Amino acid sequence: MVQKLIILSALVAAASAVAVLPGPGYPGLGLPALPALPALPALTKIAAPVLPAYTKYAAPLAIAKVAAPEPYDPNPQYSFSYDVHDGSTGDVKSQQEQRSGDVVQGAYSLIEPDGTRRIVEYVADPVHGFNAVVRREPIAVKAVAPVAKILAPAPLLSAPVLAKAIPAISALPGLPALSALPGLGHAPLAASIYHG
């Protein structure tokens, strides 16, 4: 649109332009007359060029993808089960469940810390909701052995340090003997410092 306006303005300015040609002179002002210019051919009006029409294109719009509806299963069905029997931790549990349509049935069991087995059987449907029956059964052998509690760590007893006996070192020339230094006259201490 701006380009069309600029082109139109340029055409209007060119069409309304006036050529100033030298005339016979200005005798009242004392100016000499200018030489006459040769005659110009008659100007014909030229129609404005026809420009191709510009079509505005909008930026492509982001089209949101509509997720296809998931296929509807009027009678969904599944079944699963698992068992855990870990002898090192004493973890013993199991679960099983199945679904047919809108009815889910299942059961799970586990060994509680007191040694009983808890069994939960449940049914869920749209009419009655979720209903569970909990039972406890004693088991013959306790599955989890009690862990001994440690009240305090055992005291650390230090064993006597046995030093390796080395022969007495005689004084080197220019140095006093170890026994001559205060506090170092004991052989076990000297042996513990100079051990090999």
Question: Tens of pLDDT along the chain (196 residues)?
Answer: 778 878 888 877 777 765 555 555 555 556 666 666 666 666 666 666 666 666 666 667 777 788 888 888 889 999 999 999 998 888 899 999 999 999 999 999 999 888 899 999 999 999 999 999 999 998 765 555 555 565 666 666 665 655 565 666 555 566 655 555 555 555 555 444 555 5
The closest alpha carbon to 134, from 159, 117, 113, belongs to 117
Q: How far apart, in whole angstroms, are the C-alpha atoms of residue 195 and residue 20?
A: 122
Report pLDDT for 54.
66
The arrangement of strands across the sheet holding 103-111 comes to 77-86, 91-100, 103-111, 116-125, 129-138
Q: Quick one: residue 90, left, alpha or beta (phi over 0 = left, psi -120 to 50 = alpha)?
A: left
Please say whether the dihedral angle defined by the alpha carbons of residues 68, 74, 75 and 81, taken in this order, is positive or negative.
positive
CA dihedral of residues 56, 58, 59, 65 (deg, nearest 10)? -150
> Are 123 and 105 contacting, i.e. CB atoms less than 8 angstroms apart?
yes
Is this prediction's pTM over 0.75? no
Q: Per-domain residue ranges for the chain?
A: 77-138
Report pLDDT for 93.
93
* φ/ψ of residue 191, rounded to 5: -65, -35
The DSSP bridge pattern shows strands 77-86 and 129-138 to be unpaired
Q: How far apart, in whole angstroms, are the C-alpha atoms of residue 109 and residue 113?
A: 13
Q: Tally Cβ neighbours within 10 Å of residue 123.
A: 15
Q: How far apart, in whole angstroms, are the C-alpha atoms of residue 73 and residue 43?
A: 85
In terms of Cβ atoms closer than 10 Å to its own Cβ (0-12, 13-18, 19+), residue 121 is middle
